[in-house]
Amino acid sequence: MLRPHGEVHVSHKMGGPYGQWNLEELTSRWSLLLVDRSDFNKHEFPGYCNKRGDGPRCDRPFPLGASCSYKFRRLGDLSETKPPSSSSSSSLGIPTVAPSLGADWPEQSRMMHGHQEDGIRA
């Protein structure tokens, strides 16, 4: 469970089929909104070793290529925002700040994803 005002950090490869996963849409299904995106640099994480995770070579590393780290927060926790990052875009040219949302966003999101007023999925 995510604590109030907590964040979910995801590092994700950008090219190939990975860029088509659309993490922002996937996480919005659980009321998570992108608040920051930055280039991933494995040298900032001593001991980091990427693994394939599946198949006969699941324990073998793979070339990282262009990768980003995403930070998500729960939609209800956005009223108290953190200071913005020092840059408004990554070196890949990807914006790092969340888009502005209209006042009807929470209800709009619930309806888009099949949630009723009582929180039960339709």
Give yes or no for residue 69 having a pLDDT over 60: yes
Give yes or no for residue 57 having a pLDDT over 60: yes
- Three-state DSSP class for 89? strand
CA nearest 37: which of 89, 81, 99? 89
pTM, two decimals, is 0.57
pLDDT of residue 33: 92
- Per-residue pLDDT tens for 72-113? 998 877 665 554 444 444 444 444 444 444 444 445 444 444
Mean pLDDT of 20-42: 90
What are residue 13's DSSP bridge partners?
67
pLDDT of residue 54: 85
Say which residues have a Cβ less than 8 Å from residue 66's Cβ, sequence separation at least 6: 13, 14, 15, 39, 92
pLDDT of residue 82: 53
**What is the chain's mean pLDDT, rounded?**
73
